[in-house]
């Protein structure tokens, strides 16, 4: 135990055990290897420096506020009628939707609690942006609108199946069924 490197390693193992970074039996095994059978609790714990990371609650709040701001921008883009700002708002909403979708994908891989909220906000932003583009550039053309809504539903269905998200799978399937039903009823 006189070796300073051994002491550093044992303190790290103790830190891992206390903060549950590794399963307890792994830590015990590693400690037994380095202490040659002595107990890990005999070591005095070393204080680790605080990391420069925002607290989890603060990060959640920042992400939630950012998502809400993007949703408000999307709602403004849908209801904004000044033609000179239409293209700018459409671009802002499109970029916001892409950024939000990327953030949601990264958070989903980490099993974060806010990931479903970001998925839904990204889907709403993308849907509102695509409807806004359709009403701006293809005004009165119902075929383009129908195809655009169908494409959004297919994207939701594909995303739901690929990422195993039930709410996207169900909404995509129900949206496609509603579109097919609407088309059949109007054909008659």
The predicted pLDDT at position 137 comes to: 84
Number of helices followed by number of strands (H, E) in the chain = 7, 0
The residue extents of the domains of the chain are 4-42, 56-187
Distance CA 123, CA 67 (A): 12
Is residue 140 left, alpha or beta, with left meaning phi > 0 and alpha meaning psi from -120 to 50? left
Which whole-number Å values give the CA distances from 148 to 23, 133, 164, in the listed order? 50, 10, 23
Answer positive or negative: Cα dihedral of 144, 146, 147, 153. positive
The predicted pLDDT at position 53 comes to: 47
pLDDT tens per residue, the chain (188 residues)? 457 777 788 888 888 788 777 788 877 888 887 777 665 555 555 555 544 444 666 666 666 676 667 667 666 666 655 555 666 766 777 777 677 667 766 666 665 666 777 778 778 878 887 888 888 888 888 888 899 999 999 999 998 899 888 889 999 999 999 999 988 888 76
Question: DSSP readout, 29-58?
Answer: HHHHHHHTT--GGGSPPPPPPPPS---HHH
Tell me the whole-structure pTM to 2 decimals.
Answer: 0.49
Q: If you search the block for the tokens 């009628």, which residue do you land on?
A: 81
**Cβ contact 137:86 at 8 Å:** no
Distance CA 73, CA 144 (A): 24
């Amino acid at each position: 135990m006189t070796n300073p490197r051994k002491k550093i390693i044992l303190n790290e193992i103790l830190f891992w055990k206390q903060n549950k970074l590794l399963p307890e039996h792994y830590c015990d095994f590693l400690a037994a290897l380095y202490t040659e059978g002595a107990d890990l609790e005999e070591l005095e714990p070393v204080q680790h420096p605080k990391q420069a990371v925002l607290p989890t609650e603060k990060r959640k709040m920042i992400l939630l506020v950012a998502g809400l701001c993007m949703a408000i921008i999307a709602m403004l883009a849908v209801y904004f009628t000044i033609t000179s700002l239409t293209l700018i708002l459409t671009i802002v909403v499109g970029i916001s939707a892409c950024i939000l979708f990327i953030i949601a994908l990264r958070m989903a891989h980490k099993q974060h609690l806010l990931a479903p909220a970001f998925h839904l906000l990204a889907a709403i932003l993308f849907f509102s942006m695509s409807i806004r583009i359709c009403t701006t550039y293809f005004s009165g053309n119902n075929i383009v609108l129908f195809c655009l809504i169908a494409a959004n539903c297919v994207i939701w269905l594909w995303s739901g199946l690929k990422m195993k998200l039930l709410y996207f799978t169900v909404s995509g399937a129900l949206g496609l069924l509603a579109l097919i039903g609407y088309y059949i009823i109007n054909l008659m």
